[in-house]
Structure formats: structure tokens, C-alpha cells
Amino acid sequence: MKLTFLGTGTSFGVPQIGCRCAVCTSPDPRDRRTRCGAVVECDDGTRLLIDTPPELRLQLLAAGVDRVDAVLFTHEHADHTHGIDDVRALSVRRGAPLPMYGSAETLAGIGRRFPYVLDASMRPLPGTTKPEGLPQVIAAYVPFDVGSVEIVPVAVPHGRVDVLGYRIGALAYVTDAKSLPERTLAALRGVRVLVLNALLRSPHPTHLSIAEAVDVARIVGADRTFLTHLTHDTLHVDLETELPRGIAPAFDGLVVRID
């Protein structure tokens, strides 16, 4: 299995508009973070896109990804969905709607904002195309299959909403969590690689802080944990140096291979 981080930044992205801090002006390419998304390529060739962030077209081009078999949405917030129009190239290439998985609330929210993507009755004019998604409602802790790959969605609290994380074999991808409930921790037991959001050094009402993410990672006990959804709060090189063994900051374009 191969995990590619398309984007690892917070909703502002890094650098932030108008900011001249050390991170936003850093020459290190690892400090340039687009909004969060990832691609998982499974052993059977199935490719899963996690979220459709605003920079999706540029992210897929940079990663050399020209095909996916499904989209897994974590939630409907803009930084995780507002690149959905860029799936047009993917659905046109496959000649069929692209299955899009998410909670009932997430898909309903996307349907309100982008009705032309999920509503099959809204057909493009002859000679034109549109992004086409096939909505697939899923529920936390109820496994489902894409191809021969079993995926287990798990729930994590994020302010007033619940977000879905995903366990895909030995990989767990969790973003925008404030905590991991006991049932989610149980569902993630035994993963080899954990992806976890870590927003700031200071506490935040809807996201894990860096210290909180480290504590959660120790509880999960994965061999390797990668922190994502990072802000301009910390230089990559500083965070890489100070984190405990087995925990590292992700960066845009990072490829992780999982046995």
C-alpha cells in the first residue's frame, strides 16, 4: 500500500496571505502546505482519494495521479471539499460517475453547495462535461468495500460536527479531530501507520494540538505516525527535531509505503 500526502496544511494554507512570519517566508519546500488531502493506492491497484481540497488539480498533477476509483470524504468543510470541481477530469476519463463516500450529513452538504456534481438529473449541455459523483452514504464503524479493499470509517468529534476518519488495512487516516473516542481507538488498534491532525502548539477548541496529537499517537501505538493539518505555527525542521521517535510531520508530496 502507498500513501501520498497531497496537502498537509490547515484551512488557511501555508504560507498565509499577507503573513511574513518565519514559516510563511521559509525557503524549505516542506513549509509550503496546501489544504489537506491524500491518495491511497492499495495492493490490488485500487486508488482512493481522501477529500477534495481547493488545490486538488495542482496536487494531483504534482503527484502524477490521473485516476482514482473512489473519493472518501471526511466532512463537508470548505478546505476539504471545495476542489470537488477538479474531479471532472477524473470522471470524464473513466466515462462514468466517480463513487463518493461520506456520511449522510456530509453528502447532503456537498449536494447543497455543488448540486451539479451529485445530481444525476442535471445533465451537461451537448458538447460539454461536468464533474460527476455517485453519492454513497456510509456510517461510522460499518465497513464497506471499494473493489477488494475493506474500509472502516470511524467517528471523531470536530466542534459541532463529527468527522469520519478511515482505517484502510494497516493505515489509519484521521483529520480534524479534537479527540479519539474509545470506540474509534478500538477500531484503530493494530494499525501500522497513523495519520493524525495536529493544528497548533496551543490548545484549540476543535482540533488536536501538537502535544495532544502526540499523546493520542502513543495510545494508538502505530509504528509510524505522521502529523498533518499543520499551520504556520512551527517550522518543519523544528517540529521534525523535537517530536518523539516514530512521530514525524508530514509534508506535501510525502510518499509512505506500508507493508
Residues 183-220 pLDDT 10s: 999 999 999 999 999 999 999 999 999 999 999 999 99
Round to whole Å and give the CA distance between 185 and 219. Answer: 8
Residue 14 DSSP class: B
pLDDT, average across residues 118-130? 95
pLDDT, average across residues 95-119? 97
Per cent of the chain over pLDDT 70 is 100
Q: Read off the pTM.
A: 0.97
Phi and psi torsions of 197, nearest 5°: -75, 145
> Looking at residue 259, what is its pLDDT?
83
Interval 73-90: pLDDT, tens: 999 999 999 999 999 999
Whether the predicted pLDDT of 42 surpasses 90: yes
Are 170 and 185 in contact by the 8 Å Cβ rule? The answer is no
CA distances from 236 to 125, 226, 241 (A): 47, 12, 9
Q: Is 60 exposed, middle or buried (0-12, 13-18, 19+ CB in 10 A)?
A: buried
Residue 24's CB: how many other CB atoms inside 10 A?
17
Are 183 and 15 in contact by the 8 Å Cβ rule? The answer is no
Round to whole Å and give the CA distance between 19 and 249. Answer: 22
pLDDT band of residue 26 (cuts 50, 70, 90) is very high
Q: What average pLDDT does the chain have? A: 97
First to last CA, the chain: 7
Q: Name the CATH superfamily housing domain 2-257.
A: Ribonuclease Z/Hydroxyacylglutathione hydrolase-like (3.60.15.10)
Interval 155-184: pLDDT, tens: 999 999 999 999 999 999 999 999 999 999
Kindly list the domain boundaries of the chain, sorted by start residue: 2-257
Q: Is 224 exposed, middle or buried (0-12, 13-18, 19+ CB in 10 A)?
A: middle
Whether the predicted pLDDT of 41 surpasses 90: yes
